Structure formats: C-alpha cells, structure tokens
Amino acid sequence: MMTRLSNNTPTYFQRAATVLKRLPAFIVSSLLALSTIVVMGCSNAPTEQILPAGSNVVALGDSLTYGYGATPENAYPNVLADLSNWQVANAGINGNTSRDVLARVDGVILQHPDLVLLGVGGNDVLQRVQPATTSENITAIISKLKAADIQVVLIAQPYFSASALLGKASDNPLYKDIAKAEKVPLYSDGWSKVLSNDRLKSDQIHANPAGYQEFAKGLFVYLQNEGLAR
C-alpha cells in the first residue's frame, strides 16, 4: 500500500534545499558549477540552423572547388547539391589564390547566399605566398561574409609539401588557427584524405570524379553533424 504524503511532509526539493543551506557557501558554488558543466557537456544540440531544401549556397574557391580533373557534373558542389537538395553555385576558379578570391568575394555577397563553403589556399602554397599573407586574405574573406550576415564553413586544404606530392597529404595548419580565431566551422581532412589515395586522384593535387564524390559525401555528413543539413 502506498503511503500518502501529508501537506506537511517535505518534498525532495525542500529537503535538498535544507541540505544546501547547511553546506559552506564555497561547496554550494562548486556543486552548482559542476552541474552546469555536466549539463552542457551532455548536450548534442546542433550548433547551427538547418538550411531547408532550395537554400542558396555558394562553393567559393579554386580548382578543387571548380572540379579540375572531372566534368562539371562531377565537381563536388554539384554532388553536394544532389545530396542536400540545396541550390549550390560553383564559384571555383582554376588557379585562384586567396588574394584572387578576396578580390571577388563582394560579387558573391551580392548573390545573398545562405551559406558559403570557402576552400582556398592551396595555390598560395604552390606560388610560395607567405602563410601570414594567406591567413590575412582568408580572414578578410570571412570577415566580409560575416559582416553581410552570411554563414561560412571553412574547408581546409592540404599543405603541398614534398611528402604530399609523394601521396601523404595533410592539412595546412593555418586553417585550424583561422577557424578558431574567427569562430567559424572547419571541415578538416576532407581533401587530405582524398589526395592521399591514388584511386581518388586525377593528378598529384586534384581529385578525379570518384574523389570529388567522396569529398562531397564527407562534407555533407559534416554539415549534418554541424546542424546545417538534414
């Protein structure tokens, strides 16, 4: 038989409050701080707002965005459009450096995209542009987009060192620093993984159709995890 609580019986919360009143203040503060950390740490809520089907997205970058080594249909922006049901414009130009992209970002802003996928910097390395200059240019691009209230996802590109040309590509570390400083999402390792696999390359620094498809699939999963795609 269940025992009915009388109106005078302390509730769980009343008993807890009584216990807390008897504890030293510094202990109470520590317990409250710990509970906040636990609650926040357990949250898996998306960090961005989901873009619905038909959203206007611009893939901005160089030959890896353009799809060098494949047909336009096989370029990653086109594959991503099929996966996401977004309208993904391919604003990749072969040979573009970060300076070139900075010079044309105002034109992208005039398109009023909901999201820009920014991937540039590989040609800077090939042309021996100073890393500080590349960082400044990419940061300026991001700043312009953010000032126009346009969401940005930064895409890391490989550092084309001697080891990369031998098939062991790895991300240029400047992307991680930029993403942290500018507080923008960073899709890392996507191109490095593709360009470390001979089966997915058309040459030493470009993907083939299978490679672009692989990259697009990985990027789409990342955007889903970030809460941008369904």
pLDDT of residue 195 exceeding 70, the answer is yes
Q: Assign 44 a pLDDT band (cuts: 50, 70, 90).
A: very low
Q: How do residues 69-93 score in pLDDT, each as one tens digit?
A: 999 999 999 999 999 999 999 999 9
Percent share of the chain, pLDDT over 70:
76
Q: What is the pLDDT of residue 37?
A: 34
Long-range contacts of 71-76 (CB under 8 A, 24+ apart): 71/209, 74/209, 74/212, 74/213, 75/212, 76/207, 76/212, 76/213, 76/215, 76/216, 76/219
Decide: 97 and 127 in contact? Cβ < 8 Å.
yes
Instruction: Report the alpha-carbon distance of residue 101 to residue 118 in Å, rounded.
Output: 9
Residues with Cβ within 8 Å of residue 75, at least 6 apart in sequence: 65, 66, 67, 90, 92, 212
Q: What is the pLDDT of residue 160?
A: 66
- 170 versus 11: which is more confidently predicted? 170
pTM: 0.78
pLDDT of residue 5 exceeding 90, the answer is no
Tokens of 220: 């789409």
